[in-house]
């Protein structure tokens, strides 16, 4: 009787390990696509990585875009998108930091912060600048081209 119980436990453990291993292999074969973008202003390149949220995926699906960009409050650069992004699952607001790429839902604009700012209702984080933030701050205004990086 004792041997049968030990054997049953061993079989159960083997099944659990086998299933966990198969699930890990499946997850590694189908990782979520990383959403990287390249922004160009006055011949300068800025790179960013987008978040894995509904708003960022909606923004990524719009690319490529060419938008006029301007300074706002000596804190951020803003550009108006051709349409509103989804806010499904978004928090009520965020406290953006330097280098955050965001969407301000009430106005429908992209906002890229180059100075620290306080909590703002309606602000959704889309991603973060990974390089080239200085290129953005060197221009008071201009044309920003945003493309997906494969």
Clarify whether residues 18 and 48 are in a common domain.
no
Max avg pLDDT among 8-22, 26-40, 114-128, 136-150: 114-128
Structural domain of residue 90, as residue ranges? 36-149
What pTM was estimated for this model as a whole? 0.78
DSSP the chain: -HHHHHHHHHHHHHHHHHHHHHHHHHHHHSPPPP-EEEEEETTEEEEEEE-SSHHHHHHHHH-SEEEEEEEETTTEEEEE-SSPPP-TT--SEE---TTEEEEETTTTEEEEESS----EETEEEEEEEEE-HHHHHT-SEEEEEEEEE-
Does position 23 have pLDDT exceeding 70, yes or no? no
Residue labelled with tokens 């051709």 = 82
Tokens read off for 147 = 């493309």
Does position 90 have pLDDT exceeding 60, yes or no? yes
Q: How many domains does the chain have?
A: 2
Clarify whether residues 136 and 63 are in a common domain.
yes
- pLDDT, tens digit (0-9, with 9 covering 90-100), for 93-123: 999 999 999 999 999 999 999 999 999 999 9
Clarify whether residues 41 and 18 are in a common domain.
no
């Amino acid at each position: 009787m004792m041997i049968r119980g030990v054997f049953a436990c061993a079989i159960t453990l083997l099944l659990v390990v086998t299933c966990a291993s198969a699930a890990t292999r499946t997850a590694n074969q189908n990782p979520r696509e990383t959403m990287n973008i390249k922004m160009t202003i006055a011949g300068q390149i800025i790179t960013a990585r987008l978040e894995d949220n509904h708003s960022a995926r909606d923004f990524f699906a719009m690319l490529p875009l060419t938008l006029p960009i301007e300074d706002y409050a000596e804190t951020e650069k803003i550009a108006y998108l051709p349409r509103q992004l989804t806010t499904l699952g978004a928090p009520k607001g965020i406290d953006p930091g330097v280098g955050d790429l965001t969407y301000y839902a009430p106005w429908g604009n992209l906002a890229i912060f180059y100075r620290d700012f306080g909590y703002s209702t309606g602000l959704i984080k889309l991603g973060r600048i990974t390089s080239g933030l200085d290129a953005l701050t060197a221009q008071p205004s201009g044309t920003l081209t945003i493309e997906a990086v494969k």
